[in-house]
Amino acid sequence: MNNNISAAMRFFLLVMGSVVLLGIWLTGFDKVHWLLYVPVVFFYFAAVTGICPGLAFSGTLFPSKAPAKAAAKARRKKR
């Protein structure tokens, strides 16, 4: 199993997929557009496998910055 995301993120994705699926159920499975099922599939896929396509895509668009280097102290001039 690939652990690219934390357990908290997996739980969040599982809950979000369930909330959207609950909304589809309350609306009626025959009344909602088929495109609404796509996020549910992605949420459950990410929760089960640990591979989140949305996080991977946003990571390529906005790469993390390198940590800032500590400023060097100025040296005293010798007289």
Return the structure tokens found at 65: 């910055």
Angstrom distance (rounded) from CA 43 to CA 12: 9
pTM (2 d.p.)? 0.68
Q: pLDDT (tens digit, 0 to 9) for every residue of the chain, 79 residues total?
A: 445 788 899 999 999 999 999 999 999 999 999 999 999 999 999 999 988 888 888 888 888 776 666 666 667 777 7
